[in-house]
Amino acid sequence: MTKILVCISNVPDTTTKITFTDNNTQFNTNGVQFILNPYDEIALARAIELTDGGKGSVTVINVGEAATDATIRKALAIGATDAVRINAKPHDAWYVAYQIAEYVKANPFDLILTGRESIDYNGSKVAGMLGELLDIPSVSIIKKLDLDGSTATVEREIEGGKEVLSIPMPFVAGTAEGVAEPKIPNMRGIMGARTKPLTVVEPAEVKTFSEVLSYETPAPRGQVKLVDAGDPAQLVELLHTQARVI
Nearest to 92 by CA among 235, 208, 170, 233: 208
Are 140 and 179 contacting, i.e. CB atoms less than 8 angstroms apart? no
Write down all domains in the chain, each with its CATH number in brackets: 2-214 (3.40.50.620)
Predicted confidence at residue 207, as pLDDT, reads 85
Separation CA 36–CA 183 (nearest Å): 12
pLDDT digits (tens, 9 = 90+) for 143-152: 999 999 999 9
Residues 6+ apart with CB under 8 A from 165: 139, 153, 154, 155, 156
DSSP 66-120: GGGHHHHHHHHHHT-SEEEEEES---SHHHHHHHHHHHHHHS--SEEEEES--TT
Residues 6 or more apart in contact with residue 223 via CB below 8 angstroms: none
Residues 12-44: tens digit of each pLDDT: 988 888 888 888 888 888 888 899 999 999 999
In the 8-state DSSP scheme, what is residue 142? E
Please measure the distance between the N-terminal and C-terminal CA atoms of the chain and give it in whole angstroms. Answer: 57
Residue whose C-alpha is closest to residue 212's, from 89, 104, 113: 89
Tell me the CA distances in angstroms from 217 to 20, 106, 112, 170, 220, one per residue in order.
Answer: 9, 41, 34, 40, 9
Q: Which of 111, 139, 81 is nearest to 5 (CA)?
A: 111
Q: What 3-state DSSP class applies to 146? A: strand
Would you call 53 helix, strand, or coil by DSSP?
coil
CB 84 within 8 A of CB 199: yes
Looking at residue 201, its pLDDT comes to 94
Segments of the chain with pLDDT less than 50: none
